[in-house]
Amino acid sequence: MTTSAWCLAIETSARQGSIALLREGELIGESALELGTAHGQSLLPAVSLLLQQHGLTTRDLGRVAVSVGPGSYTGLRVGVVCAKLLAWSLGIPLVAVDTLQAIAAAEAESTPRLWVVTDAQRDAVYATCQTVAVPHCPQCEIPTMVLPVAELAPQIGAADRVTGSGVEKLLQHSPGLASQVAEHSLGPTARWVGHLGWRASGKGELADVRSLTPVYLRQSSAETQWDRLHPPRPQ
């Protein structure tokens, strides 16, 4: 087996994270992560254990794919830092994967317009529209954005489908969309981060190890609170 065939995928954008090991784009193993307050303490040991279970070490990896958001601020930061550390120390390619597109990659049916929705806290959601002409191979039609849930519903056409962990929040506002929800509306998983990462790396779409940062799209609650308590002084 060539070392370049192995890909480690990391998904830490939500409380339930995961890591996956793929060879030539095919899933070999996957482990769930409970990402509480000790994100950083649990991630690297979990990676080592997954590799050991398949008789591998980090030296056998040929690339690392990581979910870059949007999602949990702390989770994304830890996942991206871990991926960058591995890629830099091993001298292997790093691939950045949009979290919502990884959810779309799980879609097993051809879908002209698939909306992926996740919770962005308060009254907002993250959303993207993807075209899935070939199952598990989404193409971006509308890039991931953050917007009030009330503004998203009118953009969803009658023939569109909806998926993602934010579907429940969307249906609370627009229950009439219930018939358009995909059969399995789940959050992102590392296996599909790895699937997209493998395809992207084959096309030379690599991230810069030094400059890659998570994609947040909005301020954290702490940042919003800080701005509220420390408004800019009048000029």
Alpha carbons 199 and 24: distance in angstroms, whole number: 9
Q: Give residue 232's pLDDT.
A: 63
CATH architecture of 107-180: 2-Layer Sandwich (3.30)
Tens-place pLDDT, residues 101-154: 999 999 988 899 999 999 998 899 999 999 999 999 999 999 999 999 999 999
User: What residues does each domain of the chain span?
Assistant: 3-99+188-229, 107-180
CB 106 within 8 A of CB 186: yes
pLDDT band per the 50, 70, 90 thresholds, residue 217: confident
Nearest to 56 by CA among 77, 85, 29, 92: 29
Burial class (CB in 10 A: 0-12, 13-18, 19+), 25: middle
The answer, yes or no, to whether residue 233 has pLDDT greater than 50, is: yes
Q: Give residue 223's pLDDT.
A: 40
Q: Give residue 41's pLDDT.
A: 76
Task: Please tell me if the domain spanning 3-99+188-229 has the same topology as the one spanning 107-180.
Answer: yes
Instruction: Say which residues have a Cβ less than 8 Å from residue 82's Cβ, sequence separation at least 6.
Output: 10, 40, 43, 44, 47, 66
pTM, rounded to two decimals: 0.90
pLDDT band per the 50, 70, 90 thresholds, residue 227: very low
Domain 3-99+188-229: give its CATH code. Answer: 3.30.420.40
**Within the chain, how many helices (H) and strands (E) appear?**
7, 9
Tens-place pLDDT, residues 14-30: 888 999 999 999 999 99
Alpha carbons 55 and 69: distance in angstroms, whole number: 31
User: Residue 23 pairs with which residues in a beta bridge?
Assistant: 6, 26
